[in-house]
Amino acid sequence: MLKKYVNVEVSMIVSENGDVYIGQQVNEQKQGLGSMYYVNGNVYTGNWFNDIREGCGVFIENTGTQFVGKWHNNKLHWHKNQIQFANGNFYEGCIKNGEISGEGKMIYKTNEAVAYTGEWLNGEWHGKGTITYTDGETYTGEFYENERRGQGKCVWPSGIEYEGGWKCDNIHGEGMLDARKLDNRIHFGPWSEGIQLQAGYTMTII
């Protein structure tokens, strides 16, 4: 909740660079509830402490992107923040020191992916998560810097399923490709960048 300090003066502070603050202040420092209108068009409305954004608030960039949640030392820092991007993407979840890190979900409007739910690190898919693509393909498993890497399971719209190793967004390492809905076969790794190696084998299911 936005916190309003009692017995604190409400006034306007105009900075030398043209930024304008309207709200509560103590000794010409922003303190309590107030709005800051930056000369570049950005606007912040929320709580302040000792001249910095601290507590609940909303920051709207001049691009239209909106940041909603709790702030610490002028940066979003909480596990239930929201970002409504100007391009239509929407994120809800953990943000640490202004970076999307921890558990969260991103719904995409301008990407081949529809949604990603899982772990993040500095704005990238990193850790365990689930991603759904526009064609219906789904992947659940490990990610590293926005790539499917490690162990995971993918289900394609055709019904083919693969579970095993991944690297650079491709089947890589030991794993099993279940293609029974396509050709009544199950293919076993190892795999290298999507290609089944000679050491692998295939079983035909009758």
The region that residue 7 occupies, defined by phi over 0 for left and psi between -120 and 50 for alpha, beta otherwise, is: left
Q: With cut-offs at 50, 70 and 90, classify the pLDDT of residue 11.
A: confident
In a domain, 69, yes or no: yes
Give the pLDDT of residue 198: 93
Residue 95's CATH number: 2.20.110.10
Q: Give the separation between CA 171 and CA 42, rounded to whole angstroms.
A: 44
Give residue-wise pLDDT tens across range 21-46: 999 998 888 999 999 999 999 999 99
Whether 139 and 194 share a structural domain: no
202 lies in which domain range? 165-206
Q: Which tens digit of pLDDT belongs to each residue from 117-174?
A: 999 999 999 999 999 999 999 999 999 999 999 999 999 999 999 999 999 999 999 9
> In terms of domains, do 108 and 203 share one?
no
Is there a single domain that holds both residue 175 and residue 204? yes
- 109 plus 23 within the same structural domain: yes
The count of domains in the chain is: 2
User: If you average pLDDT over residues 177-191, what whole number do you get?
Assistant: 94
Residues 23 and 68 grouped into a single domain: yes
How much is the pTM?
Answer: 0.89
Same domain assignment for residues 48 and 16: yes
Is 99 within 8 Å of 106 (Cβ atoms)?
no
Specify whether the CB–CB gap between 154 and 139 falls below 8 A: yes
According to DSSP, residue 61 is labeled -
* In the block, residue with structure tokens 């393909």: 137
